[in-house]
Copies of this chain bind each other. A is one copy, B any other.
């Protein structure tokens, strides 16, 4: 195979993958946002399974590896984008190839079961029901570490799967910084016992909806290359560089829920929209890592849109829709969107405690993979960690160890991305602030200097750069968790302890 043939072969496979991926995506979009006949599930599931299987078969056919090896041998002659494409295809191929086919199939079948059992187990608060599944899942994940290979800690192999280059050594450092700087701060806030006025009552959904075009425009999410749907569990879906969609779920009794989850999804969508067509054509149109993707959504959601400056922009928009805010001022609103308190549910957690919820999961996963703890002891260990970091114990398994779908879905090593991503965001924002007056941009209702910097330094690279390369190039230093810990300390000391 010549270099040209090898490139053509990979680009052809990627073109097929793009079509199959768009097809699977739009089938999911259609099912989740437009309401489809309940009975249509069977045939649609079969079609989606076939499409996914076909992507897998095309990636895993032996000519893929041949082409990768041909191109690796001449990598000096390739463009930066081609080199990244070869690296990523090779990486996926070798990871998947490392897993024995029959083991993978048995595991997948078990996971299909486990996903359904988790729903019931959570509903019934029955940990014993889930126990055999968790045992099989963590047993498989431990073997997966060996199949993937690792240098130091076996958990490294799983972490790297979601966040290239992530390791226990790195995360231990990150979470210690949180434990030292954030946990005591939070417990101090709890002890002090004062809370600002909260936003309560019912907020008409039509009026909530009316805020969305402004919100999209403010963040820079381009609706001419996207669209918004409504679903039960919001997500962002990139069908192509010119079709990046987000979804929202409105709650009449929680104004902030849809507002901030929309901003979060806009953050993901802006990242995708700022990758050019070339990246889509080389299958590099994704975040540098899960954590880097999360860095953008959480940067917009929290660091930009839970700022004092943004409260000043948001208040008049809220007043246009809701008389409720007539007697509010900016400071009240700023404090209301930043209320922190002990809580049990990760996905509803506030900005200060969010990463502490993740830390619970990180420590448990790490200890499960190293064999230091047993799956059967998880419920108690979970509660102990919550008490230690967040000062509260769940008395209901559905608010405790059974709350997340991840483990039951076979996702181990994914949780840390949520927290590390937020910390990437803080480090990036620190660099943005050196060249852009972020508060002024917010007050001008024009985030383009911020988004412009992020586009040039983060978004436009997609998966071309590795996350650590990207962070180093964008901020001038490797990952440094202190930006995040210090950002939280400063913000919440000011809010609660002054």
Contacts and interface: CB of A to CB of B under 8 A. Distances in A.
A15 B43 CA distance: 10
Contacts of A43: 18, 22, 239-243, 277, 280
Interface in A27-73: 27, 29-30, 33-40, 42-44, 46-48, 50-51, 54
A4 interface: no
B22 A243 contact: no
A1 interface: no
What is the interface residue range for chain A against chain B? Answer: 35 or more
Nearest to A17: B50
B26 A30 contact: yes
Nearest to A49: B19
Given A29-B30, A30-B29, A280-B43, A224 B50 contact: no
Report whether over half of chain A's contact residues are helix, strand or loop; otherwise say mixed.
Answer: helix
Interface string A238-255: 011111000000000000
Nearest to A27: B26
A154 to B, nearest CB: 38
A39 B227 contact: no
Number of copies: 2
Contacts of A37: 223-227, 242-243
A223 B38 CA distance: 10
Contact of A239 (B19, B35, B40): B40
Contacts of A20: 23
Contacts of A315: none
A16 interface: yes
A23 B39 contact: no
A224 B43 CA distance: 15
A23 B27 contact: yes
Contacts of A34: 33-34, 227
Residue from A19, A35, A54, A224 with most neighbouring chain B CB atoms (10 Å): A19
Contacts of A226: 37
A37 B280 CA distance: 17
Contacts of A19: 46-48, 50-51, 54
Contacts of A241: 43
A336 B321 CA distance: 47
A182 to B, nearest CB: 40
Contacts of A36: 227, 243
Interface in A216-234: 223-227
Given A51-B19, A224-B38, A243 B29 contact: no
A348 B488 CA distance: 67
Nearest to A30: B26
A372 B186 CA distance: 91
A43 B22 CA distance: 9
Contacts of A240: 40, 42-44, 47
9 contacts: A22-B27, A22-B43, A22-B44, A22-B47, A23-B27, A35-B227, A37-B224, A40-B225, A47-B240
Please provide the 8 A-B residue pairs with the shortest distance between their CB atoms, ordered closest to farther: A43-B240, A23-B23, A40-B243, A19-B50, A19-B47, A39-B242, A22-B47, A40-B242
Given A18-B46, A22-B27, A37-B223, 6 more contacts: A19-B46, A19-B50, A23-B24, A23-B47, A33-B34, A43-B240
